Structures are given as structure tokens and as C-alpha cells.
Amino acid sequence: MNVSEITIIDEIIEIGKSLKRNGLICSTDGNISVRNGDNIYITPSGYDKGGLKRNEIVKLDIKKLEYNVDSEIKPSSEVNMHIRSYMNDKIIKAIVHTHAPFSTAFASKGILPNRERLLESELLPDICMIDDYEPGSIELANEVSKNVKDYHIMLLKRHGVIVFSESLKMAYETIERFEFLCRVNLYSNLL
């Protein structure tokens, strides 16, 4: 591994820890990826994102769709969604998908949060709702990648939220801010 690879992998590991620590992911749910040139670094399937090790991050060649690690470590089941999104929008360099509780509550109801309830929501990119597709399916990957140029936050109906950004740090901050917007919406609806 070169210095650039180590930096990317370490950032993915740190974001995984932050997502877990802040209750934005549960158990082995969610996935994180970064694009660097023709390579994608993505979290493995079936691993707790809060305790990842360097050798568990899967490196994919986007053109060959080959990965570099022990055959027992597979890329996230949402790998097609990540690859197709990167191919459809060259601006994005990072993707974070979580099942954060407040975001997922809105996704499960099939409704978008009211952005007017939080002034800081103007810092968020445009948001859309993606219909109910089987997680990890080609249909979900196609629907998400078809919308990625117009929407950098997507609620996946009955599934969770996915954010696309120019950096992993920005993707994390967007997930956190969006989750806060959803929480404010839910609480304000109770008043």
C-alpha cells in the first residue's frame, strides 16, 4: 500500500468509527466508499463498520471490477450502487450509506423531511426519495445511479439514506446534518 491508499483507508476506518459512535449505523449495516482515480475503496460485507481494520477495506478497479483482498472478504452488497453512481457522476468521490434511525424512519414512511424546520438545512444538497427496491439489487443500483447527478442525498424507501459528496469528510457531515434535520422534524411533529 502506498501513502495515498493508507490515508484513504484510514479515513474510511475513522468515518466508520464516527458513524458507529454517533448512532448512525448499527451492527454490520451501511457502507462507505471512496473513489480515487480508477479505484474504489469500499467497506466489506458483513463487517461492523465501527471496528474495521486496514486489511478489511476492499480495493476495486472500477474498469475491471476485480478486487484485491482475500476471497473471504467481499465488498459491500451495495457495491453495484457505488460503482454505477461513481460512473454516472464524476464529481462525487465519496459515498456513505447508513440506516440512521431518524432518516430511516422518514424512509420507512416514504416521506421527505421538511427543510423549513431547520435553517441550516440550506447547507444540504437536494434530496429525493427512491422507491422500494431489494437492497443490493441491480434495480436499486440503476435507480440510484440514474438520479445521482440531480440529488446528492437519497432516502431509500424502507432502507435508509445515502449521501454522495466530493470528499468523505463532507459526506459524513452531510449524513450527520441530514439526520439532525430528520430528528428536528420528528420532534417538532410531536409538539
**Per residue, what are the HEC states of 25-84?**
CCCCCCEEEEEECCEEEECECCCCHHHCCHHHCEEEECCCCEECCCCCCCECCCHHHHHH
Contact 7, 38 (CB under 8 A): no
Q: Which residues contact 155 (CB under 8 A, 6 or more apart)?
A: 103, 106, 107, 112, 127, 128, 129, 130, 161
The residues annotated with a catalytic role in the active site are 78
35 — phi, psi (to 5°)? -100, 135
Strand 94-98 and strand 31-36: pairing? antiparallel
Name the burial class of residue 98, with classes exposed (0-12), middle (13-18) and buried (19+) by CB atoms within 10 angstroms of its CB.
Answer: buried
